[in-house]
Amino acid sequence: MKEHREAAAGKAAPVALSDPPVAVLLVSLVVLTLVWVGGILTDWRGIAARPERLATLVADVTTVIVPGFIALGLVRLARPRARLWYVLILGAFLYAVVHNVAYLAWDNYFGVPLVAAVALAVVCAGYVVYAVRAVRISAE
């Protein structure tokens, strides 16, 4: 009801956690967090032994995971800057996915063919484009 009144008054409706683009980011952040926790618990020595992996862990935590949950908190609280944070996190998320997937595929870490890694990167890029467009449309 409040959203309807705001839309009628010329204000943009707030982005909600239940909106599909935001829900996908929430699930993606949870998966990324669980993957890193699992990696730390099962192969900490392997991560710590290679500076590239350790740097990727630090970068993911500081530029994607923590800011991503902050952005989702801002969305949940309907803060005015939530849209900006959300779009910034989408960019960081896309970079992290492409970087990590390219690195892991190049290193043949999981034995996944390069074609599958590229397909995942394309799907993530498509999601980011979709999410940014959805946020822009909801702001109008």
Tell me what pLDDT residue 2 has.
47
Each residue's pLDDT expressed in tens, for the chain with a length of 140 residues: 444 444 444 555 566 667 777 788 888 889 889 988 988 999 899 889 988 889 888 988 998 899 889 888 887 777 777 777 888 888 888 888 777 777 767 776 666 677 877 888 888 888 888 888 877 776 66
Classify residue 20 by burial, with Cβ atoms within 10 Å: 0-12, 13-18, 19+: exposed
Whether this prediction's pTM lies above 0.85 is answered by no
Contact in structure between 53 and 89 (CB atoms under 8 Å): no
